[in-house]
Homo-oligomer: A and B are copies of this chain.
Amino acid sequence: MTLSEKQTIDNKAYIVDLASLYAQELVNEVLPFWVKNSPDSVNGGFFTCLDASGKVFDTDKFMWLQGRQVWCLSYMYHHLKPEQQWLDMAIQGADFMLKHGRDNEGNWYFSLDQMGRPLVQPYNIFSDCFATMALAALDRVCPGKGYGEVAVETFDNIIARRQNPKGAYNKNYPGTRPMRNFSLPMILCNLALELEHVIGSDAVNAFIPEVLHEVMDIFYQPELGVILENVAEDGSLVDSFDGRLLNPGHAIEAMWFVMDIGHRIGNKKLIAQATQIMLNTLQKGWDNEYGGIFYFLDLHGHPPQQLEWDQKLWWVHVETLVALAKGYQYTGNQDCLRWFMKVHEYSWQHFRDDKNGGEWYGYLNRQGEVLLHLKGGKWKGCFHVPRALYQIATTFNPRVFNRP
């Protein structure tokens, strides 16, 4: 389906076609790629460093991606269809994680070698976030095996480490310029809803106002119209490299988490606000010269310290598509649909691998050419593309996966 040919984009049939397109891509291309190429049948867990054809080019196991794949397979088993192979694979991944993934304090390592021996210490709390997300999702489809208990323990540990998530690995000198980073509050917005069946609705209800406050009152800057990636303790702008940093993909992804929270708590105003922030961010982050969304920008237009600032990354684009689809469905805002078309065309043209099929490419240069010929790596696994395809398909047509 080439979408640029369409004259009238705002019609029901067209949206339903889009839903089918995303559903088919998920079921026929992306999930089979990971199921076929990723499992390590010798040691357990998943290989994620896969080249364009799916061949393993590096055997290290990165805990973010182990957790994310267990989550994805469990989620698809629950929501898409009860495919036994997906469940078996999620279980073997979780068992590898539980056997090798934690230090003596229960913190999740950053990476292991293929045998499961620890390589990089738990310097980073996001391994824990994706582990808890994984084990909670698996617990829902495979209850009574203890996965939920470890999910809750890990979640409690995240909350306890929340004020200083890097612990002893924090390189900042205390006190000179204390700053808060957006990543954890953003992930907690999503985690809150993901964990509901293990921590209970009351805990989620109590947690939501807190994470919403952090995202919408601390990191969102109404007078600037943007979400900053790092702010002072009181949420104000710090005029430094970190303080001026914009990460449009992060802000946009967070806005669909907030829309989902708004939907859950029945707050239309919040949904409308998140939609507007998302559209502003997209406008600001869009590369008018070559198309696509920049990875990083400096609020004041100074050179960012990230050398990869002008690259176009898969997760930024697919999460933007999710945010636009949800923004449209929740609010009916036509700008969401217009932008969806634009980002859809860019993404399908540049990230999708028409030659080999399977998972999408992840890293493009500013001009939109493939920069790294990989489908998975140290930071890219079975997560953003399948999750986004599922979210978009079911947002546009909740019955898309119901067979006749």
| B303 and A373 form a contact (CB under 8 A) | yes
| CB 8 Å contact bits of A371-402 with B (1 = contact, 0 = none) | 11110011000000000000000000000000
What residue of chain B has the Cβ atom nearest to residue A168's Cβ?
B168
| A172 and B241 form a contact (CB under 8 A) | no
How many Å from the CB of A250 to the closest CB on chain B? 16
Specify which chain B residues have a CB less than 8 angstroms from the CB of A240 in the assembled complex.
Answer: 58, 60
| B307 and A311 form a contact (CB under 8 A) | yes
Given A307-B363, A308-B308, A378-B241, A117 and B57 contact (CB-CB distance below 8 Å): no
A residues lining the B interface (CB < 8 Å)? 51, 57-58, 60, 109-110, 113, 117-121, 123, 168-169, 171-173, 176-177, 240-241, 300, 302-305, 307-308, 310-311, 363, 365-367, 371-374, 377-378
Specify which chain B residues have a CB less than 8 angstroms from the CB of A305 in the assembled complex.
Answer: 377-378
How many Å from the CB of A239 to the closest CB on chain B? 8
Query: Given the complex of chains A and B, what is the CA–CA distance between A173 and B118 in angstroms?
Result: 6
Query: Given the complex of chains A and B, what is the CA–CA distance between A168 and B121 in angstroms?
Result: 12
How many Å from the CB of A110 to the closest CB on chain B? 7
How many Å from the CB of A233 to the closest CB on chain B? 15
How many Å from the CB of A301 to the closest CB on chain B? 9
Query: Given the complex of chains A and B, what is the CA–CA distance between A169 and B378 in angstroms?
Result: 21
What residue of chain B has the Cβ atom nearest to residue A366's Cβ?
B365
Contact of A365 among B119, B172, B302, B365 (CB under 8 A): B365
How many Å from the CB of A186 to the closest CB on chain B? 21
| B365 and A120 form a contact (CB under 8 A) | no
Specify which chain B residues have a CB less than 8 angstroms from the CB of A169 in the assembled complex.
Answer: 169, 171
| B303 and A57 form a contact (CB under 8 A) | yes
- Give the secondary structure class of A's interface: loop
Specify which chain B residues have a CB less than 8 angstroms from the CB of A365 in the assembled complex.
Answer: 310, 365-366
| B118 and A176 form a contact (CB under 8 A) | yes
How many Å from the CB of A361 to the closest CB on chain B? 10
How many Å from the CB of A173 to the closest CB on chain B? 4
Specify which chain B residues have a CB less than 8 angstroms from the CB of A173 in the assembled complex.
Answer: 109, 117-121
* 22 pairs from A and B in contact (CB 8 Å cutoff): A51-B303, A57-B300, A58-B241, A58-B302, A110-B171, A113-B177, A118-B176, A119-B176, A119-B177, A120-B171, A121-B171, A121-B172, A123-B171, A168-B168, A305-B377, A307-B307, A307-B308, A307-B371, A307-B372, A310-B371, A365-B366, A367-B367
What residue of chain B has the Cβ atom nearest to residue A170's Cβ?
B121
Specify which chain B residues have a CB less than 8 angstroms from the CB of A372 in the assembled complex.
Answer: 303-304, 307
Query: Given the complex of chains A and B, what is the CA–CA distance between A244 and B142 in angstroms?
Result: 40
Query: Given the complex of chains A and B, what is the CA–CA distance between A300 and B173 in angstroms?
Result: 40
Specify which chain B residues have a CB less than 8 angstroms from the CB of A60 in the assembled complex.
Answer: 240-241
| A172 and B303 form a contact (CB under 8 A) | no
| B172 and A119 form a contact (CB under 8 A) | yes
Specify which chain B residues have a CB less than 8 angstroms from the CB of A113 in the assembled complex.
Answer: 176-177
| B172 and A120 form a contact (CB under 8 A) | yes
Specify which chain B residues have a CB less than 8 angstroms from the CB of A367 in the assembled complex.
Answer: 367
How many Å from the CB of A49 to the closest CB on chain B? 8
| A377 and B303 form a contact (CB under 8 A) | yes
Specify which chain B residues have a CB less than 8 angstroms from the CB of A51 in the assembled complex.
Answer: 302-303
Query: Given the complex of chains A and B, what is the CA–CA distance between A123 and B118 in angstroms?
Result: 22
How many Å from the CB of A298 to the closest CB on chain B? 9
How many Å from the CB of A242 to the closest CB on chain B? 10
Specify which chain B residues have a CB less than 8 angstroms from the CB of A302 in the assembled complex.
Answer: 51, 57-58
